[in-house]
Structure formats: structure tokens, C-alpha cells
């Protein structure tokens, strides 16, 4: 047995029957079932008791009156006690008084002819003390009375009447004298009641007599009546009543029927007013739809559904049907509007929400997403068709205009296409993606949890982006029209297009799209960048190819490697320009983009390949320029005097001789190999591109080959005629040879050889500068080879003549002396070989003579030898 | 009769007169061995936390939901400085709707906790009215009275400066305590402090002579007649 319940708190502490009372205390039961009794002021309230916790019970007070304990009884603790008390009081219910208990509102009909039984509560007993009642002011507090007389009552008629209470309640301010007088009055009254009936009759003799008179009168009247109407008065009465009823009916039937009609009308009117909302709804829906205040419509619709959704009234059902139809129309309208593109995404979401709140069957948001995607697709295609058409139009007009102009127009059109497509993509995805996100976040109802939906959305976005990328590829990468565009315009266009795409790409990144679609766009951008790079390089290639026409043969500069024209510089400039354009336009990667020319990447390889093609084209140009023999121009095969007459600086570009061109091409090649290629390589490095080592290497090799080809060609055309003259000149002299004549000088052919060499040297040196020795050496070598050949062919019989031998030795020695600076090992070998066929000198005298002749030759030929040896690299 | 107050017309005397009529058996039912009862009344504007303080003190619970009180009564035994006493708490309605019936309640109170919310300056302003009403009803300047600033846990929403509160308490010459019915901060303190004041007040009264009491009653009588 646990501790008994103790009630220590009551809220509120007083109230009329039915007051909701919160009882607090301790040990008020361990569970609902533990509570087995609750009495408030003695009234059992267990029925209404709600057990909340062991400290709290909520109940309703019973019909008790007065102050009393709250006794809780539990199975576990038995009957409890209370430290606080509840006071119940009755309220007289008035029309303005709030009441917690049910009171019949309709008052019972007051019958004017009937008698209302007097309510006992309104019965006010006469003042027993015969004292005038005092005012209500200064009333004795009722609570204190309750405290003083816990079981008492102040009512005279009650069993537990307490005189003290009564006195305190009614006469707390009455003086003792008055009270004594009252006591006397009361005693007298009691006394008079004790005296009995006789005294009562005595006191009321007049009244009794009067009553008797009345009774007699009544009896007389009754008898008279009976005489008049017989024993049975009722039938005649009934007939009279019935007649009066009929009369009354006939009198009132019209009025009543009119009243009925009026009532009905009134009823209908009140019905209309009461359900004004419903009846006016169709109209108001129309109005609100016109005003586009769909929220109001939805609200009204929901309200009407709640209010009349389950109505059985035919009229209401009819109106509801009408409303439903309107709502269906509205749904249809909203649906179409939601689907109709273009539409602001906020507005679309608004429509979706409206559709959702209108219980549109179907997944509104999903439809919206789909329609948005379809719109995007169709927009893309439309953009494409539009610009295609425009482009074709441009081209069809091209007979009116120049091709170039048309092409620049076309490129502009493509640029606009690109911009429009980018704009469309970013704008539409900008709308579509947040919509989808909200959809999948569950904000827009539907079935976002469907697994297929996610995949479908992904497919949609990828499809859209792929379409975009396809279009961009057709638009930008398969460009045919931009071939003839000026380079600046091309660059501007490229940069603009790239910027458009990057902006769109940037937008997509901002949208936080998944990486797959982003990568597709990135790929397009990347490809376009590669395309741009290719374009620039191809452009440069083309320009390099066109260098042939640019060649003026004007010597721009005398470098360490000889005189060069502007070709190497132009090559460098073109390459440099292309590289800078690449660097400026396409190399710089944007956000989340790959490096264009990553080491070892496909684009880098392509770039190197293109560069190689470019450089090789240059080589081809050089080769073409060098070796293309113009029919009108003959190789200048004239002798020294002619060669010397030609002044290099004066030569007009087109009048430059072929061999000079050859030589210039050679030096150009040489210079390019040595200087320009290094510069180009450096330029690549400076722009941060991977070094085109392979291309440079290949070009170097090609240039070397070209140089040798040029040298050979030169030799062929220059050396062969020179060598050819030797034999004839030699033979010419030999016929005149006198066997006895003292030989004091070489034959003229020697001088001719030397002169020719000088002419070659002059020519080569004029062009090649320091590099000229190569050509001279080659010529010398050929000459020596020829001499050796001639020496070998010389008939042995002639060698017998010492004079001839001396002569030959002298000539070879002189040649050796003259060309000593230019002799390669091979050439020297040839000379030695030639000398070896000549018998040696016989005596010292001969030798001395030869030496003196050689010395004389040196003295005489000092100028010639100097000119031959000037500006020479030593071997 | 007006000039010379007759002892027989004094309600208190009339009571004793009437009490004689009551049977002695009923008299014995009156609390005899019950500990001393201190009647505390919670006053203050609606929603300041009077009921919350009361319930926290009585049952250690914090009621989150707000339900306006009409008039609640609580009574329990507590140990005050080693002495077992009973505290009777009358939790009154703060709403203005019940302002008319307050007089009746205040009459029975021996000590008052005048509560306001430190987050609500209006409730603080209203304490002035309550104070005046209490003084008028009790006709006693030194009635045990504590000014209580509740909701001290909501310091960040405080809108009644501490200085202002203290200033008013000083002006009234009553203690000022800040409580939090939520965190039970100072809840016991205010009730016990008030009970101590009531107790010391009662012992003062009992020490005073009977004549003094009579004098007072006489004065009171005069007022009521006038």
C-alpha cells in the first residue's frame, strides 16, 4: 500500500458545475487504472477525470455547491486528503452570460392564459424579523461565512439552516436594539401561528364571509346555465368551435398561403445569401481567371470543396459540377500555359503549384521539365535552321557581291548563331535545372522519388547539351566560309565565339550541373580551341606558302651567315603572329577547362605537326624559288668582267640574276636554319607551348639538304662551264708551244682559271659573305679534279720534253699558290695527283728559275690573289 | 452610533457572538494542530509567469504551454528555517478581465509576489497599479511584498533594465529578486523570503497589544462607514 493521495493544488479554485479543473498533488495514482475515485465537494467526478500523471488530474466539477475538499482515491494509496478546496457555485444563466453547461436556448412558450408554476428559487420568503433589508453594500463576505459554518446554510427553508449565518448575511449592520425588536416581531408571529384555526377564522371573518357569498353566486349561475343549455352543453360548443375553425380557416387560408409563399421566398433568399459564396463562385472564378488571380480561385475552390464537397443538395451539386467544369478548364488552361514556352520559370512554378493545389492528375512539374527540355531542343534546332537559312541566303546572294564579303557575312552569321545557341542553352538550362532541382527536392509534388525520373532527367540534360555541342560543332568546327577571312576578323570572331561559349559554360558551372554534361560542353570548347589553333597555324601555313610571291630578292641584311632577303623574317613574323594569336585567343583555359597544349596531348602533337608542315612549306618555297629555272633568264655564264660589272646593290629585284637568287636562297636557308628556327623554338617556349623539337629537327634537315642541293646546283651551273673551258684553253696554248723557248710564265689558261675563280668568288662573296667559301672551295675542287684528269690524260711522249714538264709544273704550282686558301684536302690530293704525273725538275737551276717565276707571279698577281683570298674563312 | 463605535456592531465581535451559537463539536473540527499557514498571493500582468513560478515551486515542473489562469489555489507543507509551516498560494488572473474580483482575493493575502517579465516593459509598468491596489485593499504600507522580475533566462531579450527595477523596489522599500521559472533560478528564494517576511510580520503583530489591534479595527470601521 503506497502513500495516500494528497491534493495540494486546484486550478481554478472555484467555478460553476462543469468547470474544467486541474488537480495537482502527490501520489495521485500510478496509472489511469489506479485512479478509482474522485470527489469534488462531495460530487463524484471520476467519470470526467483524466489521469495525466501521478501529480496531475484533469476533471470537470460536478453539480456541487459550496466549498469542499477534493478527495482522490487510488487503488495503491486508498482515500486521500486535500489541502486546498474547491468552491462550486451556480450561475443564473442570462443571455449575455457565458456558461460551461448546456442551457436550452429556446425558452418555453409563455402561455398567457396558462399559469406558470412559480419557481422555488424565485420564492423569496418574507423577512422573518420584519426588518427592512439593508442595501447590498457592506455585505458580509460569503467565503468567511462558509468558513465559519462549514455545514450551514443561510436559507430559511434549508435543513441545515444556521441562524448565525442568516444574521451575518442579512443584518450584519443592524443595531442590537433593532435586532431585539425583530426578535419580538418574530416571537409574535410564532405565537400567532400557534393559536390555531379559530383565531385564524376570527382574524379573517370578513374574507370568509365574502368567500361564502361568492360560492352561492357561483352555484346560482351554474344552475341557470344548466337550465338554458340542458345537461349536455358540449355538442353545441363543439359545433360552434368547429364553425369558428372553418371560418377562421377560410379567412386566413389566403393570408396563410401568402405567408407561406413569403416564407419560402424569404427562405430561398436567405439560402441565397447564406450560400452566396457558392452561387457566385462560378462567376467569381471566371472573373479571377480573367484577372489572372489564380490563387484566389484555388482558395475558393478548396473552400467550396470543403464546405459543399459532400453535399446531397441537387442544386449545390449542379453548381459544384459547373465549378468543377470551370476548374477543369482552368487546369487545362494552366497546363497549356505551363507547357507553352517561352515562360518565366517563376511563373511556371506558380502554374505548377496551382495545378498541384487543384489536384491535377499527373505530374505537373515533370511535364514542365519535359516541355522545357523539348523547348530547348526545338529552340536549338530553330536557331540552327534560322542561321543556316540566313547563311544560305548570304551565299545565294554572292553573285551580286564579292565572295569575300559574303564569307565575312557568313562568319558573322555563324557568330550570331553561336551566341544565340549559347544564350538559349544557358537561359533554358538556367530555368530547367532549378526547376528539376526543386522537383527532386519534393517541392513540386509529383513522383520525384521515381528512380527512372532521375535517369531521365540526366538523359534529357545530356541530350540537350549534346545537341548543343553538335550544333556548335557544325556551326564552328566545320567552318568552310571562314577560309578567306582576314586574319584579324577571324581572330575577333574566334574570340567572340569562344567568349559566348565560355559564358554559357560558366553559367552551367554556376548551376552546379553534373559533370557529364559539363564535360560535353567543355569538349566542344576545347575542340573549338584546337580548331582555332589549327586555323591559325593553317593560316600561317598558307601565308608561308604565299611567300614566293612576296620574295623581292631585295637584300635586307648582311648577317653572319650571308645576305638574306626578308623571307626568314617573314617566316618568323608569321609564325610569331600565329603563335601569339593562339596564345591570346585559345590557349588560355577558362574555369574547369583543360590545358590546350598539354605536353604529349593530341592538340600538342597536332600543333607540332602543323608547325612542321608550315616550316617544310617554307623550305619548299625556298627550294622552289631557288631551283625554279626561269626560261627567260639564262645562267650568267659570262666571264669575270661581266660578273664584276654587275653591281649587286643596284640590281632591281626582278632583274636579279638566277645564280644570285640561288645564292640568296641558299643563304636564306642557312640563316633560317641557324637563326630563325632557334627564334621560333624560343617563341614556342615563351608562349609556354611544348617545344616543337621534331618539327625543328625535320626542318633543319630539310634546310641542310636544300643548302647542299643549292650548292650542287650552283656548282653544276657555274663550275661545269668553267671546267669545260680549261681543256680548250690549255690546248689552245699548247699548239703555240715552242720546244726551245724559255718558259718564263704560265700559259694564259692558268690566268683564265684564276680570273674565273675570282669572278665566282666575287659573285658568291657579294651574296653569301663569310659563307661564300663553301662555293669557292667546291669550284676549286672541281677545277683541281679537272686538272688532275687532264694531267692523267696527257700523252706520255710529250712529258719527255723537259720544257713541257717545267711548264706543267710551273702552271700547277702557280695554281696551287693562287688557290692555296681554298684548297680542300680532296682538291690538294687532286693537284698532287696531277703533279705526280709530271716528271720532277732536273736541276737546281730549273728550280731556282721556277721559284723566281713564282715570286714574280706573286708580285704581279698580288691584287688578284688578294681579291681571291679576301673575306675568307681559313680551311 | 457613528460617534461612539459600539463594540456590539463590530463584525468581529458579532462573529464571536455568533460563534457561541455554533455547537462546540463543530468548533473542534477547526484546525488545531495544523502548522502555521502563510497566505501568499501571486499578482502581476497576464503571461508574466505567475503560474509558472507557482508550479515550479510546488511541483518542480515547468509548463511550456500558456493557459490563462482564473484563480488557482495551492497549499503544501514546507520547512521554513527548521519550522514546519504551510504555504497557501493563491495564483490570480493577470488578465484585466478579472481586475474587478481582485479586491476580494487581495483581502485574504498576507504577502504578495508582484511578478513582471523583464522582457515586457508593459508588465513592469503594471506592477505600479498592482502595488497601489494592494496597498488600498490591505491599507498597510508594510505588507510583505516582493518585486519579482521573471524570465531572467531570456537575458538577450531583456527590455527592462536592471537599474530601473532596483530603483522601483528601492522606492517602494521592498526587495527585488530576478527569477526564472524555466531554470528554477531563485524560485524557492522568493517564496521563502516572502514567508520569512510574513512570519516576522506576524510575530510583530502578536507582540503588539490587543488594544492596538482594536484601535486599528476601529480605524478601519470608520473608513468603511465613511
Q: Which of A733, A142, A86, A326 is nearest to B101 (CA)?
A: A142
B73 interaction partners in chain A (CB closer than 8 Å) = 9-11, 13, 84-85
Q: What is the mean pLDDT of residues A801-814?
A: 72
pLDDT tops 80 at residue B128: yes
Q: Which of A87, A64, A85 is nearest to A7 (CA)?
A: A85
> What residues have CB less than 8 Å from B185, skipping those under 6 apart?
B152, B153, B178, B179
Q: Is the pTM of this model over 0.80?
A: no
Sign for the pseudo-dihedral over CA of A610, A613, A617, A618: positive
Q: Which residue out of A12, A26, A53 would a mutagenesis test of the B interface target, given it has the greatest number of B Cβ atoms within 10 Å?
A: A12
Nearest to B73 among A13, A140, A148 (CB): A13
Q: Angle at CA A581, nearest 5°, toward A579 and A583?
A: 70
Instruction: Please check whether residue A564 is in contact with residue A519, taking contact to mean a CB–CB distance below 8 angstroms.
Output: no
Q: Which residue has the higher pLDDT, B214 or A656?
A: A656
Q: How many CB pairs under 8 A join A and B?
A: 82
d(CA B72, CA B53): 13
Give the pLDDT score at B145: 93
Q: What is the mean pLDDT of residues A590-609?
A: 67
Sign for the pseudo-dihedral over CA of A509, A511, A515, A519: negative
Burial of A696 (0-12, 13-18, 19+ CB in 10 A): buried
Look at the block and give the residue holding cell 501529480: A55
Burial of A172 (0-12, 13-18, 19+ CB in 10 A): middle
d(CA B84, CA B80): 6
- Taking only the tens place, the pLDDT of each residue in A707-726 is 787 777 777 777 677 777 77
pLDDT band, residue B13 (cuts 50/70/90): very low
> What residues have CB less than 8 Å from B148, skipping those under 6 apart?
B44, B53, B113, B114, B115, B116, B176, B177, B178, B179, B190
d(CA B118, CA A618): 92
pLDDT tops 50 at residue A136: no
Burial of A212 (0-12, 13-18, 19+ CB in 10 A): exposed
pLDDT tops 90 at residue A107: no
Residue A448 grid cell: 520525384
| Chain A residue with minimum CA distance to B17 | A164
Q: Which residue has the higher pLDDT, A303 or B12?
A: A303
d(CA A156, CA A167): 11
d(CA A576, CA A679): 9
- Percent of chain B past pLDDT 70, that is, above it, reads 77
How is A740-805 classified by DSSP, letter by letter? SS---S--HHHHHHHHHHHHHHHHHHHHHGGGGHHHHHHHHHHHHHHHHHHHHHS-HHHHT-HHHH
- Farthest CA pair distance, chain A: 225
Instruction: Please check whether residue A254 is in contact with residue A262, taking contact to mean a CB–CB distance below 8 angstroms.
Output: no
Q: Is there a contact between A175 and B6 if contact means CB atoms under 8 Å apart?
A: yes
Give the pLDDT score at A633: 45
Q: How close is the nearest chain A Cα to the Cα of B9, in Å?
A: 6
d(CA A538, CA A613): 9
Q: Is there a contact between A13 and B19 if contact means CB atoms under 8 Å apart?
A: no
Residue B21 grid cell: 451559537
pLDDT band, residue A125 (cuts 50/70/90): low
Residues of A at the B interface (Cβ-Cβ below 8 Å)?
A: 8-15, 22, 24, 55, 83-85, 138, 140-141, 143, 148-151, 162-164, 167-168, 172-173, 175-176
ipTM above 0.95, yes or no: no
d(CA A93, CA B119): 40
The single-letter DSSP state of residue A474 is I
Q: Is there a contact between B91 and A11 if contact means CB atoms under 8 Å apart?
A: yes
d(CA A587, CA A576): 14
Nearest to B73 among A84, A162, A164 (CB): A84
pLDDT band, residue B122 (cuts 50/70/90): very high
The H or E element containing residue B75 is strand B71-80
Number of other CB atoms surrounding residue A97 within 10 Å: 10
Give the pLDDT score at B195: 93
pLDDT tops 50 at residue A416: yes
Mean model confidence pLDDT for chain B: 79
d(CA A565, CA A563): 7
d(CA A422, CA A506): 11
How is B28-81 classified by DSSP, letter by letter? HTS-SSPPEEEEEEEEESTTSSHHHHHHHHHHS----S----SEEEEEEEEEET
Q: What is the mean pLDDT of residues A195-200?
A: 71
A134 interaction partners in chain B (CB closer than 8 Å) = none
Q: What are the beta bridge partners of residue B71?
A: B92
Between the alpha carbon of residue B2 and those of residues A131, B7, B139, the distances in Å are 20, 12, 21
| Chain A residue with minimum CA distance to B54 | A9
- Taking only the tens place, the pLDDT of each residue in A474-500 is 776 665 545 556 666 777 777 777 777
Q: What is the mean pLDDT of residues A43-67?
A: 88
> What residues have CB less than 8 Å from A375, skipping those under 6 apart?
A341, A342, A428
Q: What is the mean pLDDT of residues A695-699?
A: 80
Residue A487 grid cell: 586574319
- Taking only the tens place, the pLDDT of each residue in A331-356 is 787 777 777 767 777 777 777 777 77
Give the pLDDT score at A449: 65
Residue A380 grid cell: 536549338
d(CA B155, CA B158): 5
Number of other CB atoms surrounding residue B69 within 10 Å: 19
Q: What are the beta bridge partners of residue B113?
A: B42, B146
d(CA A505, CA A525): 9
Q: What are the beta bridge partners of residue A799?
A: none
- Percent of chain A past pLDDT 90, that is, above it, reads 4
- Percent of chain A past pLDDT 70, that is, above it, reads 73
- Highest mean pLDDT (candidates A118-132, A534-548, A692-706, A772-786): A692-706
> What residues have CB less than 8 Å from A118, skipping those under 6 apart?
none
Amino acid at each position: 500500500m503506497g502513500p495516500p493521495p494528497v491534493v495540494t493544488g486546484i486550478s481554478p479554485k472555484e467555478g460553476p458545475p462543469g468547470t474544467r479543473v486541474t488537480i495537482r498533488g502527490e501520489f495521485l495514482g500510478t496509472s489511469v487504472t489506479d485512479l478509482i475515485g474522485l470527489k469534488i465537494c462531495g460530487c463524484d467526478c471520476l467519470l470526467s477525470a483524466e489521469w495525466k500523471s501521478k501529480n496531475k488530474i484533469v476533471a470537470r466539477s460536478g453539480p456541487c455547491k459550496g466549498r469542499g475538499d477534493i478527495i482522490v482515491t487510488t487503488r495503491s494509496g486508498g482515500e486521500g486528503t486535500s489541502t486546498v478546496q474547491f468552491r462550486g457555485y451556480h450561475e443564473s444563466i442570462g443571455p449575455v452570460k457565458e456558461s460551461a453547461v448546456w442551457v436550452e436556448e429556446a425558452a418555453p412558450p409563455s402561455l398567457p392564459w396558462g399559469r406558470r408554476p412559480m419557481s422555488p428559487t424565485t420564492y423569496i420568503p418574507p423577512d422573518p424579523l420584519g426588518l427592512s433589508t439593508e442595501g447590498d453594500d457592506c455585505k458580509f463576505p460569503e467565503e468567511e461565512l462558509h468558513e465559519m459554518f462549514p455545514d450551514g446554510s443561510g436559507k430559511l427553508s434549508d435543513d441545515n439552516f444556521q441562524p448565525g449565518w442568516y444574521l451575518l448575511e442579512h443584518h450584519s449592520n443592524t443595531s442590537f436594539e433593532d435586532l431585539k425588536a425583530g426578535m419580538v416581531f418574530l416571537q409574535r408571529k410564532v405565537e400567532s401561528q400557534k393559536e390555531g384555526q379559530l383565531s385564524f377564522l376570527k382574524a379573517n371573518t370578513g374574507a370568509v364571509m365574502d368567500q361564502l357569498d361568492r360560492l352561492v353566486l357561483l352555484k346560482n349561475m351554474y344552475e341557470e346555465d344548466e337550465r338554458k343549455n340542458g345537461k349536455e352543453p358540449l355538442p353545441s360548443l363543439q359545433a360552434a368551435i368547429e364553425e369558428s375553425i372553418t371560418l377562421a380557416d377560410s379567412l386566413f387560408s389566403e393570408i396563410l398561403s401568402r405567408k407561406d409563399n413569403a416564407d419560402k421566398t424569404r427562405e430561398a433568399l436567405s439560402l441565397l445569401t447564406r450560400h452566396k459564396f457558392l452561387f457566385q463562385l462560378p462567376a467569381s472564378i471566371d472573373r479571377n481567371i480573367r484577372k489572372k488571380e489564380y490563387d484566389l480561385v484555388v482558395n475558393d475552390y478548396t473552400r467550396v470543396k470543403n464546405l459543399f464537397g459532400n453535399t446531397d443538395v441537387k442544386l449545390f451539386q449542379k453548381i459544384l459540377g459547373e465549378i468543377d467544369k470551370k476548374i477543369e478548364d482552368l487546369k487545362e488552361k494552366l497546363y497549356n500555359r505551363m507547357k507553352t514556352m517561352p515562360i518565366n520559370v517563376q511563373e511556371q512554378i506558380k502554374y505548377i503549384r496551382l495545378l498541384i493545389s487543384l489536384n491535377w492528375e499527373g505530374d505537373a512539374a515533370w511535364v514542365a521539365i519535359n516541355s522545357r527540355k523539348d523547348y530547348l531542343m526545338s529552340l536549338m534546332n530553330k536557331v540552327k535552321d534560322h542561321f543556316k537559312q540566313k547563311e544560305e541566303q548570304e551565299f545565294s546572294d554572292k553573285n551580286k557581291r564579292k565572295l569575300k564579303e559574303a564569307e565575312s557575312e557568313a562568319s558573322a552569321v555563324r557568330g550570331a548563331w553561336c551566341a544565340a545557341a549559347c544564350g538559349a542553352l544557358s537561359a533554358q538550362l538556367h530555368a530547367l535545372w532549378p526547376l528539376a532541382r526543386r522537383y527532386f527536392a519534393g517541392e513540386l509534388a509529383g513522383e520525384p522519388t521515381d528512380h527512372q525520373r532521375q535517369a531521365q532527367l540526366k538523359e534529357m540534360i545530356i541530350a540537350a547539351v549534346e545537341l548543343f555541342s553538335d550544333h556548335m560543332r557544325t556551326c564552328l568546327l566545320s567552318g568552310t566560309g571562314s577560309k578567306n577571312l582576314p586574319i584579324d576578323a577571324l581572330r575577333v570572331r574566334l574570340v567572340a565565339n569562344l567568349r559566348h561559349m565560355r559564358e554559357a559554360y560558366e553559367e552551367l558551372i554556376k548551376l552546379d550541373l553534373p559533370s557529364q554534361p559539363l564535360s560535353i560542353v567543355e569538349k566542344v570548347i576545347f575542340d573549338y580551341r584546337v580548331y582555332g589553333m589549327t586555323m591559325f597555324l593553317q593560316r600561317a601555313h598558307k601565308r608561308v606558302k604565299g611567300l614566293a610571291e612576296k620574295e623581292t630578292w631585295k637584300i635586307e641584311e648582311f648577317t653572319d651567315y650571308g645576305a638574306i632577303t626578308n623571307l626568314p623574317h617573314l617566316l618568323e613574323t608569321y609564325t610569331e603572329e600565329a603563335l601569339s594569336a593562339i596564345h591570346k585567343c585559345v590557349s588560355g583555359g577558362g574555369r574547369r577547362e583543360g590545358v590546350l597544349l598539354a605536353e604529349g596531348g593530341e592538340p600538342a602533337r597536332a600543333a607540332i605537326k602543323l608547325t612542321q608542315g608550315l616550316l617544310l612549306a617554307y623550305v619548299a618555297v625556298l627550294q622552289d624559288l631557288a631551283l625554279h629555272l626561269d626560261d627567260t633568264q639564262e645562267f650568267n655564264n659570262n666571264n669575270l668582267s661581266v660578273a664584276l660589272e654587275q653591281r649587286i646593290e643596284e640590281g632591281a629585284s626582278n632583274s636579279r640574276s638566277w645564280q644570285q637568287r640561288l645564292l640568296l636562297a641558299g643563304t636564306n636557308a642557312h640563316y633560317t636554319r641557324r637563326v630563325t628556327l632557334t627564334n621560333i623554338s624560343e617563341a614556342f617556349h615563351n608562349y609556354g607551348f611544348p617545344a616543337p623539337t621534331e618539327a625543328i629537327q625535320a626542318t633543319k634537315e630539310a634546310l641542310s639538304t636544300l643548302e647542299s642541293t643549292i650548292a650542287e646546283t650552283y656548282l653544276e651551273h657555274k663550275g661545269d662551264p668553267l671546267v669545260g673551258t680549261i681543256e680548250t684553253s690549255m690546248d689552245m696554248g699548247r699548239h703555240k708551244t715552242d720546244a726551245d723557248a724559255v718558259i718564263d710564265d704560265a700559259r694564259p689558261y692558268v690566268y683564265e682559271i684564276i680570273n674565273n675563280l675570282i669572278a665566282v668568288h666575287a659573285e658568291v662573296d657579294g651574296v653569301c659573305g663569310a659563307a661564300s667559301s663553301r662555293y669557292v672551295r667546291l669550284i676549286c675542287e672541281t677545277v683541281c679534279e679537272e686538272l688532275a684528269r687532264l694531267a692523267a690524260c696527257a700523252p706520255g711522249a710529250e712529258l719527255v720534253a723537259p720544257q713541257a714538264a717545267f711548264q706543267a709544273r710551273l702552271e700547277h704550282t702557280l695554281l696551287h699558290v693562287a688557290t692555296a686558301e681554298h684548297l680542300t684536302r680532296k682538291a690538294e690530293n687532286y693537284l698532287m695527283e696531277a703533279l705526280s704525273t709530271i716528271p720532277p725538275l732536273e736541276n737546281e737551276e730549273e728550280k731556282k728559275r721556277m721559284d723566281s717565276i713564282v715570286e714574280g707571279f706573286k708580285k704581279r698577281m698580288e691584287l688578284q690573289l688578294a681579291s681571291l683570298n679576301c673575306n675568307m674563312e681559313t680551311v | 452610533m457613528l460617534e461612539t463605535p459600539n463594540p456590539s456592531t463590530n463584525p468581529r465581535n458579532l462573529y464571536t457572538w455568533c460563534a457561541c451559537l455554533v455547537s462546540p463539536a463543530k468548533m473542534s473540527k477547526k484546525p488545531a494542530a495544523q502548522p502555521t499557514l502563510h497566505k501568499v498571493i501571486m499578482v502581476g500582468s497576464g503571461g508574466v509567469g505567475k503560474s509558472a513560478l507557482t508550479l515550479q515551486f510546488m511541483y518542480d515542473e515547468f509548463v511550456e504551454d500558456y493557459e490563462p489562469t482564473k484563480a488557482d489555489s495551492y497549499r503544501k507543507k514546507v520547512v521554513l528555517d527548521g519550522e514546519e509551516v504551510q504555504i497557501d498560494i493563491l495564483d490570480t488572473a493577470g488578465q484585466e478581465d478579472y481586475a474587478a474580483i481582485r479586491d476580494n482575493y487581495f483581502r485574504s493575502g498576507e504577502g504578495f509576489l508582484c511578478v513582471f517579465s523583464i522582457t515586457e516593459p508593459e508588465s513592469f509598468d503594471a506592477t505600479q497599479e498592482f502595488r497601489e491596489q494592494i496597498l488600498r485593499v490591505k491599507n498597510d504600507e508594510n505588507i510583505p511584498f516582493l518585486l519579482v522580475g521573471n524570465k531572467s533566462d531570456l537575458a538577450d531579450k531583456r527590455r527592462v533594465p536592471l537599474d530601473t527595477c532596483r530603483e522601483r523596489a528601492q522606492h517602494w522599500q521592498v526587495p527585488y529578486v530576478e527569477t526564472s521559472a524555466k531554470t528554477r533560478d531563485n524560485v524557492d528564494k522568493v517564496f521563502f523570503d516572502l514567508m520569512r517576511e510574513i512570519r516576522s510580520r506576524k510575530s510583530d503583530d502578536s507582540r503588539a497589544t490587543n488594544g492596538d489591534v482594536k484601535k486599528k479595527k476601529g480605524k478601519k470601521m470608520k473608513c468603511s462607514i465613511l
